[in-house]
Amino acid sequence: MVNEKELLARLNWFYSLELNQVDLYTAQAHAMEDIYLAKTLARVAAIEQQHVDNMAAEIKKRGAEPTRLGDAVAPLLGKASGTVVGILGAKAVLKTNIALEKKAMKDYKDFISRVEDDSHLLNILWDNLIDEDLHTAWFTNKLKEF
Ligand SMILES: [Fe+2]
Ligand SMILES: [Fe+2]
């Protein structure tokens, strides 16, 4: 079980991670030539925005303000973080996104395993985790086309 301070720190981590996903996928959607990929990235960005909102609500419910932790995602992506689509193209975008989604899934699973007595929070974490799993599956399937 996590104490309140650690819980808030974890919620802020996900708040930041999800905000970065919204920014990244929105930028990718605008830069993508392939209409189906662009529309899907925009739709996935909208779902990531729901995750931002549900993490923000959990933080506020506990009397704290959602705080964006620097650039939480950049270290995960390394040099690819600044590259939206550009010269790397759809294949690199999909690979980057799969890595990001897998990191989010790993962290959600870990968080879920640490929360015991808050069924409302657990339901939200499970919802977000399953969304990330669906995104990973779509990106992975799409990658086969390239
Ligand atoms: Fe998400
Ligand atoms: Fe996702």
Ligand 2 centroid vs 78 CA: distance in angstroms? Answer: 19
Instruction: Tell me the mean pLDDT in the region 97-110.
Output: 96
Helix (H, G, I), strand (E, B) or coil at 23: helix
Ligand with minimal distance to 52 CA: 1
Q: Are 29 and 38 in contact (CB under 8 A)?
A: yes
Looking at residue 118, what is its pLDDT?
95
Ligand 1 centroid vs 101 CA: distance in angstroms? Answer: 8
Side-chain half-sphere exposure of 5, counting CA atoms within 13 A: 0
Q: How many domains does the chain have?
A: 1
pLDDT tens-digit map of 10-29:
999 999 999 999 999 998 99
Q: Are 126 and 132 in contact (CB under 8 A)?
A: no
Instruction: Tell me the mean pLDDT in the region 54-59.
Output: 98
- Count of residues making up the chain: 146
Ligand 1 centroid vs 1 CA: distance in angstroms? Answer: 23
What is the CATH classification number for the domain harbouring 27?
1.20.1260.10
Ligand 2 centroid vs 98 CA: distance in angstroms? Answer: 9
Ligand with minimal distance to 101 CA: 2
Tokens 């189906």 — which residue?
A: 36
Q: Which residue has the higher pLDDT, 88 or 56?
A: 56
Domain that holds residue 51: 4-143
